[in-house]
Amino acid sequence: MLLNAQEIGISSDTTESQQEELYKGRDIILVIISAICALAAVVSALFAVKSHRSAKKVVVNQTLLELGNDYRSPQMGYAIKQLWDYYRKYGEENFVREYEKIRKDEDNWVSSLDKNKRSQAVQNTLHFQRRLVSQFYQHLANLYVNKRLPKNAIYEKWLEADLRIIPKILVPIENKLRGVLHKPPVGPLDENCPLLVLYRDSKN
């Protein structure tokens, strides 16, 4: 916006050269102000990016802490041990079939109890233990494939040996149950499901 002579303090007897100098000075001031504003915008943007990264790091660390606490809990440790014990007892060829027999027997046993005792009894079943472990690893797998957690952060805490339960026990049982418990039956998990991706990448 151009200012008239009176607004910038130029008298009628001011020479033309003096007027030009005053206008140049005004233009320089405007350039400096624009540069300061641009610099402030850049600093603000950099601060916003840094704040976002810091907040994301806090969320990642908090998520890893919660996952670690769940994994190290006595209940989780017991459930994982139960599954491996049954797997070793019946072997790779028979484990799924025996699991389904045990699940049905446990279901009948829980149903025979008084209603006020069933909730506690369910928590002692192999099926409940399997669901607890399966849901934990499914959650971990979803976080991984959706890039919510860094790859190195996951595999520093869960090695291939820790994840081996996925292809050995969890996926075979899940595929069996998908055809038994779902109406209509659901097809088996494919090789690119989050669980198997999580395990497969642990070997790389």
Digit-coded pLDDT (tens) for 35-73: 787 777 777 676 665 655 655 667 788 999 999 999 999
**Could you give the CA distance from residue 165 to residue 92 in angstroms, rounded to a whole number?**
12
Query: Which ranges of the chain would DSSP assign to H, the alpha helix?
Result: 16-72, 74-112, 115-122, 126-145, 151-157, 160-163, 165, 171-180, 194-201
Residue 129 has pLDDT above 80, yes or no: yes
Check residue 8 and give its pLDDT: 47
Q: Is cis: bond before 184, omega within 30 of 0?
A: yes
Residue 166 has pLDDT above 60, yes or no: yes
**Sorting pLDDT into bands at 50, 70 and 90, what band is 77?**
very high
Token reading at 89: 């007892």
SS (H, E, C) 76-98: HHHHHHHHHHHHHHHHHHHHHHH
Query: Would you say how long the chain is, in residues?
Result: 204
Digit-coded pLDDT (tens) for 168-199: 999 999 999 998 887 888 888 999 999 999 99
